[in-house]
A and B are shown apart, each in its own frame.
Chain A
Amino acid sequence: MTLVKVAPPIEQDVDLTQTYDAVIVGSGAAGGMAAHVLTSRGMKVLMLEAGKKLDINQELRSMQWPYDHPRRGDAPPGSHHLSFNEYTIRKPPYAKGAAFKHVYSYVGGWGGSDYVKNILVDEKEHPYTGSNYAWVRARCLGGKTNIWGRLALRLSDYDFKAKTHDGYGEDWPIAYADLEPYYDKVDLYLGISGVKENLPHLPDSQFQRPSKLNWGEVKLRESLKKAGQVLTPYRAGVTTDGLKHNKYRSKCYGRGACDRRPGGCDIHAVFDSPTGLIYPAVDTGHLTVRPNSTAHACDRRPGGCDIHAVFDSPTGLIYPAMDTGHLTVRPNSTAHEVLVDKNTGRARGVAFLDSVTRKSYEAKGKVVILAASTLESARLLLLSRSPQHPNGLGNSSGHVGHNFCEHVMGPGVTGLIKELVGKPHTLDDGRPGGFYIPRFRNLKDRQPGFIRGYGYEGNSGHSMFPAHVMDTPGFGGQFKRSVRDHAGAFVSMGAFGEVLPRYESYVDLDPETKDAWGIPVLRFHYHFSDNERKMAEDMVATGREMLEAAGIEVVGTDEKVLTEGWSIHELGTARMGNDPKTSVLNQFQQSHDVRNLFVVDGSSHVSASCQNPTWTIMALAWRSCDHLADEFRKGNV
């Protein structure tokens, strides 16, 4: 049962004889935003989504108790979710040779989650090659916004002008002042929850009611405040007060359904039984077990909200855009080439396969907008080779696929709040997130070991599954009592750090390997550098200091950096810039080479910052599409 009883809008018939004003590839945060802005400006838009349109509430089953599911939420036999061990000791394509019928990325934990099997791609159909990378892809209407982590942060001029600050990389072609009005628009249109802190490096949003901190979090906040640092309630892309203008979304009712799963550890740190068994026995000898893993989300559902208080692209952006009468959505449409007019060199449409029938089609558009995700948009540009664009479309600079960056994560700490041991159990997890400690490194100081910074995401309090159970030694009555008494008495936090964009970090097309649709796949050339490793060391040491200063005993630390890609914050493969020789897009995410081609997703970001990118992706897409609609009206595109 769900509180929102409004059915999705009736779909318009797809007319491929028509030339649409714009064809958008992708339906996630970026594609949804492009559709919203352009249709609100009266443009006729066709959106192509490679995946299915799901009955998402049926997929998420947000309130289902573990014991009402035959496998307590785990995926059925024959499905396997890749573990940290596998990402580490094997090389892509990870599903190659797997005995399992379906192989998915790590999202979901334990035996893999039954709630994401139709949202995530099957790695068997979607291989990639090259260096180790945990690439999470969601092919369905709304993409990854259906299960995203909800932390909705702004960037600041510490990010946009990072080169000016420390000399590394490139500045963005925009400043915070350019984007601020669009952040405001995103906040007001989609809803965001948080507390104003007046920080220059983490600008405030137009917040709705914040979620509250619990006892341990307040204790940590007070201690940090003495040291001039900030702990703020999770800034969640969640409407806590409701949105009068959107009939598809409810306000948040504090169910905590977005941050809960029946149990298990999403990095398979605790116990990893099925993992070693799907591949030849030779691999199993190398499996490593990560100790002290309580800092990780052993209790987390893959996200998602069946009353859509959490922003997702379909209910937040796409359905309202359909209600304008200007948006046509075609799911099951696997785009494989941006088509170019032979005479003018301009984009004229998109070639795609029906994902089910595999028949070929062409969609015609006056403007083509790529919003397929950082890596898929880069892939599409590289696939779109023509005599005018021999290195791929919009790639005269040679920078498409390069300057690839993201967030490094894994390091974190767990502390025990002694005052809470043995206390009555309280309701702590009925909220979209715990807390966030914004970046504090290399703002005024200069760290000797690394440039840029990181922030911590953290959480404390009771949850459905006592994640500390496997770190509680022994068995029997004492063990059981200890698990009970310690439930809710932990605070854990893990860092997300900026990964520097480097030209040598890139993806290109694999010359041989193809996906299940016969389309060449991406090959990764991507590794963390010393800057990330030094930063990771600081994440652990500083986290420990923070907890200890608050009188919280550190009971676990995670030192290991998770596999590249784990943050699901990939960025930068078609960066913006003022110089067409060193950038792919201008400040409006418009191709330097092809005026009617836009790339409005995370691939346009010039640097990763350490703040989660979704809100910035949407603010940028809004700004660019506003500009595009102006220019379109003037006939300049």
Chain B
Amino acid sequence: MTDAPKHPESLSRRDMIAATAAALVTPLLQGGAVSMQPVAGVPGKFLTAAEYALLDELTELIIPADDHSPGARVAAVAAYIDGRLAESLEPDWQARWRSGLQAVDGLSRELNAKPFLEATPDQRVAVLTRMAAGEADPKTAPERFFGELKGWTARGYYTSKIGIHLDQEYKGNVYQRGEFAGYDAK
């Protein structure tokens, strides 16, 4: 019926390493250069170039690069969100993003008398700070959009290679040999 080993227990060390390697397709990247491949299988783009640039900046402001790990920009979070928007079958959801990004620019004009991307770094932070002020109980359009924006930025970042391996230094999803980490219940 099959030429497989009689007992799975008899698997060789080589088998197991191969299995782990297959799962851990990407070597952990050490700082510096990170090659980002486009996410497979996501069609087209939904956002205009201007909207995309705005989103990209917003995600990086929410999760910026620091001395520990790259930020949302290098993790291509905007591309991920744009991809999800592009393939979505929910026009209402797409419209909410479009109007949300407009609301960011609107708030920037109100506070800084210029669109978000033309504002200074401090002015941009001021806009986001205003949006985040109502995080617990959002009331205005920009405040409501902040939750959506932050949620999807976190989703995109912490499910990326950079988020999982470099920022969180996640150790799992591997075949462990012998005893697992932890303490005996005694």
Contact = CB atoms under 8 A, between A and B. Distances in A.
B181 A212 contact: yes
Interface in A47-75: 63-68, 70-73
A286 interface: no
A324 interface: no
A255 interface: yes
A487 B171 CA distance: 13
Nearest to B154: A469
Nearest to B4: A5
Contact of A1 (B22, B66, B179): B22
Chain A CB count within 10 A is highest, among B89, B181, B182, for: B182
A3 B159 contact: no
14 contacts: A1-B23, A2-B19, A70-B42, A214-B181, A215-B183, A218-B183, A218-B185, A250-B11, A260-B172, A260-B173, A271-B147, A307-B8, A465-B159, A476-B62
Interface of A: 1-7, 9-10, 63-68, 70-73, 76-78, 100, 110, 195, 210-215, 218, 221, 231-233, 242, 244, 247, 249-251, 253-257, 260, 262-264, 270-271, 273-274, 277-278, 307, 424-431, 462-466, 469-470, 473-477, 479-481, 484, 487
A487 B135 CA distance: 21
Contacts of B132: 473-475
Contacts of B26: 65
A347 B67 CA distance: 73
A68 B172 contact: no
A255 B175 contact: yes
A242 B25 contact: no
Given A251-B9, A469-B154, A487-B168, 5 more contacts: A65-B173, A195-B185, A247-B4, A253-B177, A462-B168
A431 B135 CA distance: 35
B142 to A, nearest CB: 13
B88 interface: yes
Contacts of B128: 475-476
Given A65-B173, A255-B173, A271-B151, A70 B40 contact: yes
B159 A262 contact: yes
B92 interface: yes
Given A215-B183, A257-B173, A70 B39 contact: yes
B169 interface: yes
A557 B84 CA distance: 32
A464 B183 contact: no
Nearest to A251: B9
B170 A464 contact: yes
Given A67-B159, A273-B148, A244 B7 contact: yes
Chain B CB count within 10 A is highest, among A255, A463, A473, for: A255
B65 to A, nearest CB: 9
A6 B7 CA distance: 9
A150 to B, nearest CB: 15
Given A270-B151, A430-B181, A469-B158, A254 B176 contact: yes
Nearest to A276: B92
For chain B, which range describes its interface: under 10, 10 to 19, 20 to 34, or 35 or more residues? 35 or more
Interface string B109-147: 000000000000000010010001001100000000001
Nearest to B41: A70
B64 A63 contact: no
A291 to B, nearest CB: 8
B158 A465 contact: yes
Contacts of A484: 68, 167-168
Contacts of A431: 180, 182
A476 B60 CA distance: 8
A15 B19 CA distance: 41
B63 interface: yes
A473 B135 CA distance: 7
A427 B2 CA distance: 36
Interface of B: 1-2, 4-9, 11, 15-16, 18-19, 22-26, 39-42, 61-64, 66, 68, 71, 80, 83-84, 87-90, 92-93, 96, 125, 128, 132, 135-136, 147-148, 150-151, 154-156, 158-161, 164, 167-177, 179-185
A425 B168 contact: yes
Contacts of B80: 72
Contacts of B135: 473-474
Secondary structure of the A contact surface, majority rule: loop
Given A260-B172, A473-B135, A212 B62 contact: no
A7 B4 CA distance: 8
B159 A72 contact: yes
Contact of B171 (A263, A274, A462, A481): A462
Nearest to A63: B23
Please name the 9 residue pairs, one residue from A and one from B, whose CB atoms are nearest each other, closest first: A212-B182, A70-B41, A63-B23, A254-B176, A5-B4, A66-B159, A427-B171, A250-B8, A271-B151
B18 to A, nearest CB: 7
A76 B89 CA distance: 10
Chain A CB count within 10 A is highest, among B6, B39, B88, B170, for: B170
A148 B118 CA distance: 52
Nearest to B177: A253
B77 to A, nearest CB: 11
Contacts of A427: 171-172, 176, 180-181
B119 to A, nearest CB: 16
A621 B45 CA distance: 54
A473 B168 CA distance: 18
Contact of B61 (A253, A264, A475): A475
A263 B158 contact: yes
Contacts of B136: 473
B90 A253 contact: no
A7 B3 CA distance: 10
Contact of B155 (A263, A428, A476): A263
Given A7-B2, A474-B132, A242 B181 contact: no
B172 A221 contact: no
B64 A477 contact: yes
A470 B39 contact: no
Contacts of A10: 1
A247 B10 CA distance: 11
Contact of B154 (A71, A470, A474): A470
B127 to A, nearest CB: 11
Contact of B174 (A221, A251, A424, A430): A430
Contacts of B24: 65
Nearest to A465: B158
Contacts of B182: 211-214, 428, 431
Nearest to B160: A67
Given A431-B180, A475-B61, A477-B64, A210 B84 contact: no
Contacts of B93: 273-274, 277
A213 B185 contact: yes
Nearest to A71: B84
Given A3-B16, A67-B159, A466 B1 contact: no
